[in-house]
């Protein structure tokens, strides 16, 4: 539960409020038992007290107790809303599958609600109520306090064992739900294909099986919850029985304690064990929330190369017929910093577009490592600009703060240019809107890349036909992107080719690749280095 607790760390004032409320609640519970004990003692033993005052005090205590319990739960609910809002913002910036994002933004985030609204308030209640009751009984009836100290640990030990098992089962349940969601989304997307090949019955059966699997996992968790409840009730009941036996012996047989002491102690015993027992129930809920939290705790690697023991490759086997020659690609291409070069019309841009998924290959297939699926960005020689606002063109409708966008704009020297428009970042561009120069369009696309970085980024002639200042800005931005992504660059400039650690050379439909030292004797290499 460290991750969930860490998330609430920035809202420490909620924790302070819960501590204060729990301490006041513990004091009120002790006062309630003392006052009710006085009433029972006076009624049964004919002791004279001011009944009106005592009853009014008890009623006031009950009202205050109810208010404090409601306040404690409300503070937890407010903390839950704050953390869920924070998580939703983080989730939108994470790179996940659509089905997983949709599922986690609903089931996943709502699944942690009980940790803050139920578990945390109960932790504070179960910490301070038993603690203050023990302190009170050490001065009021020491034997009962010692019995409580001996029997109390059995409850947390038991619910820890149950809770750990529940956490694992909740994580399994969430994994099954994610798989079910992904399959259902794929089925909806491919419904035309499914009908075309008459596979409706197979898909229905698969959806039914996955639904039943999720139902079975849910029932296992409920079974565990019911079992833990039964055992906690048994332990609490047995402990209260031991205290009652000790009080009975002391009151009737040994005649060592007063009736008033016996009544107050017997009233505090259920309060003591109920607080611990309720923590047991809440702990089960908290461990279930932890199962959801494990799936929400998304930690992307800082650098791509750290994710692999060896350099991953793209296996490509396809051909494209240009008429005057045929581009044939049949090789494995390392996912490392690479410059793609060769004479004009050799197929470099076509290759880049096929790898990026911008166009389909004529014949054959491209096998991309799973970690790079749906995480490849392509920047064409003539970047695409939507007929929309500058803001949406940069963010591509992802959730980013204005501070992030401004910082990226300043890094490519576009902020002042954008603010020169009357509407600033809300200015419409493209067809029917303001027009940007070629260099400004390239910088706009770089902002898109910097704000929504992919794992593989392919630049197609990024500095072609640009002024010197824009060219330097783009080179600096590409250098920044290389720190967190694999960058392939289609280039003609000899300087860019010389600086490349790895090359792919295209010539008349043939592709060769390697380092400078490995290809020094290749005629294609000598041609591009002239």
- Residues 365-393 pLDDT 10s: 777 887 777 788 888 877 777 788 888 88
pLDDT higher than threshold 80 for residue 363 = no
Average pLDDT on 487-495 reads 85
Asked if 317 and 381 sit in the same domain, the reply is yes
Q: What confidence category does residue 149 fall into, taking pLDDT thresholds of 50, 70 and 90? A: very high
Q: Mean pLDDT of all residues in the chain?
A: 79
Q: Which of 256, 271, 296 delimits the end of a domain?
A: 296
Asked if 289 and 380 sit in the same domain, the reply is no
282, 328 contact by CB (below 8 A): no
* pLDDT tens per residue, range 408-464: 888 888 888 888 888 888 888 877 778 888 778 888 888 888 888 788 888 888 777
Asked if 285 and 336 sit in the same domain, the reply is no
Asked if 253 and 330 sit in the same domain, the reply is no
Q: Which of 296, 317, 344 delimits the end of a domain?
A: 296
Asked if 314 and 447 sit in the same domain, the reply is yes
The CATH number assigned to the domain holding 239 equals 1.20.1560.10
- Name the residue with higher pLDDT: 269 or 46: 269
Count of other CB atoms within 10 angstroms of residue 170: 26
Asked if 291 and 317 sit in the same domain, the reply is no
Asked if 291 and 321 sit in the same domain, the reply is no
The reported pLDDT for the residue numbered 306 is 36
**pTM score above 0.95:** no
pLDDT higher than threshold 50 for residue 165 = yes
Asked if 210 and 313 sit in the same domain, the reply is no
Select, from the ranges 25-39, 97-111, 475-489, the one with the highest average predicted confidence (pLDDT). 25-39
pLDDT higher than threshold 80 for residue 174 = no
* Radius of gyration (C-alpha) of the chain in whole angstroms: 34
Select, from the ranges 156-160, 245-249, 392-396, 500-504, the one with the highest average predicted confidence (pLDDT). 245-249
The reported pLDDT for the residue numbered 246 is 92
- Whole-angstrom CA distances from 111 to 34, 36, 118, 170, 205 are 40, 40, 12, 10, 28
**If 0-12 CB within 10 Å is exposed, 13-18 middle and 19+ buried, where does residue 499 land?**
exposed
Q: Which of 248, 270, 296 delimits the end of a domain?
A: 296
Asked if 110 and 199 sit in the same domain, the reply is yes
For 25-74, give the DSSP string: HHHHHHHHHHHHHHHHHHHHHT----HHHHHHHHHHHHHHHHHHHHHHHH
* Adjacent-strand bridge partners of 379: 459
pLDDT higher than threshold 70 for residue 25 = yes
- Whole-angstrom CA distances from 225 to 112, 234, 288 are 17, 14, 10
Nearest 5 degrees, angle CA 399-CA 405-CA 409? 150
Measured CA to CA, the distance from residue 529 to residue 261 in angstroms comes to 98
Q: Tokens 């259902």 label which residue?
A: 184
Q: What confidence category does residue 3 fall into, taking pLDDT thresholds of 50, 70 and 90? A: low
Asked if 175 and 320 sit in the same domain, the reply is no
Quote the domain boundaries for residue 32. Answer: 2-296
Asked if 291 and 309 sit in the same domain, the reply is no
* pLDDT tens per residue, range 340-354: 888 877 788 888 888
Asked if 370 and 431 sit in the same domain, the reply is yes
The region of weakest confidence among 11-15, 115-119, 172-176, 248-252 is 172-176
Closest CA to 243 of 219, 280, 273, 284: 273
Measured CA to CA, the distance from residue 359 to residue 375 in angstroms comes to 16
**If 0-12 CB within 10 Å is exposed, 13-18 middle and 19+ buried, where does residue 434 land?**
middle
The CATH number assigned to the domain holding 313 equals 3.40.50.300
The reported pLDDT for the residue numbered 98 is 54
């Amino acid at each position: 539960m460290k991750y969930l607790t860490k998330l609430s760390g920035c809202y420490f004032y909620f924790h302070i409020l819960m501590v204060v409320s729990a301490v006041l609640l513990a004091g009120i519970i002790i006062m309630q038992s003392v006052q009710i004990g006085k009433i029972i003692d006076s009624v049964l033993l004919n002791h004279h007290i001011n009944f009106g005052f005592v009853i009014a005090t008890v009623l006031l205590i009950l009202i205050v107790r109810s208010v404090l319990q409601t306040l404690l739960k409300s503070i937890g609910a407010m903390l839950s809303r704050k953390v869920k809002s924070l998580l939703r913002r983080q989730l939108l910036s994470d790179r996940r599958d659509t089905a997983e994002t949709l599922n986690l933004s609903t089931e996943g985030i709502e699944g942690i609600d009980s940790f803050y609204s139920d578990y945390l308030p109960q932790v504070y209640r179960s910490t301070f109520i038993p603690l203050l009751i023990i302190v009170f009984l050490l001065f009021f009836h020491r034997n009962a306090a010692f019995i409580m100290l001996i029997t109390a640990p059995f409850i947390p030990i038991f619910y820890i064992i149950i809770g750990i098992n529940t956490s694992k089962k909740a994580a399994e349940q969430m994994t099954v739900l994610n798989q079910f969601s992904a399959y259902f989304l794929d089925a909806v997307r491919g419904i035309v294909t499914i009908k075309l090949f008459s596979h409706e019955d197979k898909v229905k059966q698969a959806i039914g099986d996955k639904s039943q699997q999720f139902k079975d996992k849910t029932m296992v968790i409920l079974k565990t919850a019911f079992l833990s409840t039964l055992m906690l009730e048994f332990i609490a009941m047995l402990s209260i029985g031991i205290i009652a036996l000790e009080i009975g012996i002391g009151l009737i047989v040994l005649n060592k304690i007063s009736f008033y002491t016996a009544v107050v102690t017997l009233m505090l015993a259920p309060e003591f064990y109920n607080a611990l027992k309720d923590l047991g129930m809440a702990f089960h809920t908290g461990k279930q929330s932890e199962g959801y939290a494990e799936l929400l705790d998304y930690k992307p690697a800082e650098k791509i190369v750290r994710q692999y023991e060896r350099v991953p490759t793209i296996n490509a086997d396809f051909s494209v017929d240009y008429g005057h020659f045929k581009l044939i690609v049949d090789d494995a291409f390392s996912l490392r910093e690479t410059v793609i070069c060769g004479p004009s019309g050799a197929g470099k841009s076509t290759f880049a577009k096929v790898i990026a998924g911008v166009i389909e290959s004529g014949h054959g297939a491209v096998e991309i490592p799973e970690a790079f699926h749906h995480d490849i960005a392509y920047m064409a020689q003539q970047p695409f600009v939507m007929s929309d606002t500058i803001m949406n063109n940069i963010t591509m409708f992802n959730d980013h703060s204005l501070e992030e966008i401004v910082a990226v704009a300043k890094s490519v020297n576009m902020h002042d240019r954008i603010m020169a428009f009357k509407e600033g970042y809300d200015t419409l561009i493209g067809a029917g809107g303001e027009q940007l120069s070629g260099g400004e369009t390239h910088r706009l696309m770089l902002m898109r890349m910097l704000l929504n970085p992919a794992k593989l980024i392919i630049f197609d002639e990024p500095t072609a036909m640009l002024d010197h200042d824009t060219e330097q800005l783009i080179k600096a931005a590409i250098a920044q992107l290389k720190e967190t992504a694999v960058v392939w660059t289609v280039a003609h400039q000899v300087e860019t080719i010389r600086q490349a650690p790895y090359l792919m050379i295209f010539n008349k439909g043939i592709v060769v690749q390697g380092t400078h030292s490995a290809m020094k004797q290749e005629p294609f290499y000598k041609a591009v280095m002239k």
